Amino acid sequence: MKKRLVSMLLALAMCMGLAVPAVAVDVNSSSTVASELSVSANEIDMSMPYHYSKTFLENGQEVTIGVRYEPAAQTRSGSKSDPASEGVWTSYYNSPILSMSYKYDLEKSGSHWKVSNARDHRYSAIGYSTSNPSLKIARSISTASFPAEINASVQYTLITDLLFTSTGVVNTTVSDDGIVTVSWN
């Protein structure tokens, strides 16, 4: 009886050990398909907080991407409406296993949009180690042909299987028309 119990426990442990990498690989197998959302910065009241998120089902798991705007505290001396540069924008991605976010400034510059001051790149992973984080502004000012762009990435490595590595990327673009697009890939 004791041998049978030990055999069952060993079999269960082996199955669990093999199941974790299989689930982790499945979660990231959609890394070539981007989830994205778009909002118009021209239609947002910059004196009020704004939050928009979208939830997707990827490989049976709910993932959420979003964008948030928090206006700066107003002073009592003025009654002007605050431009977008007087607040903080945040783009983010959340799943049950992986998450990433970063903050930046966004302002209208003539007929173009300008992103600046990319900061506070945060990321976490359950069951993965993280390395090589990167947060950079790829293009600071939008043009008629190309959007302003911020890229954040981090490399995730499955802890139980150091051979499986993937890179998660949260990308934010702002077109000349003021369309803010956040995507995960």
Q: What is the mean pLDDT of the chain?
A: 79
Tens of pLDDT, residues 165-183: 888 899 999 999 999 999 9
What average pLDDT does the segment 136-144 reach? 94
| Percentage with pLDDT > 70 across the chain | 74
pLDDT at 18: 34
DSSP 140-182: SB--SSS-EEEEEEEEEEETT-TT-EEEEEEEEEE-TT-EEEE
pLDDT at 97: 87
Domains delineated in the chain: 2-184 (2.60.40.3860)
- 21 or 152, which is more confident? 152
pLDDT at 47: 86
- 157 or 30, which is more confident? 157
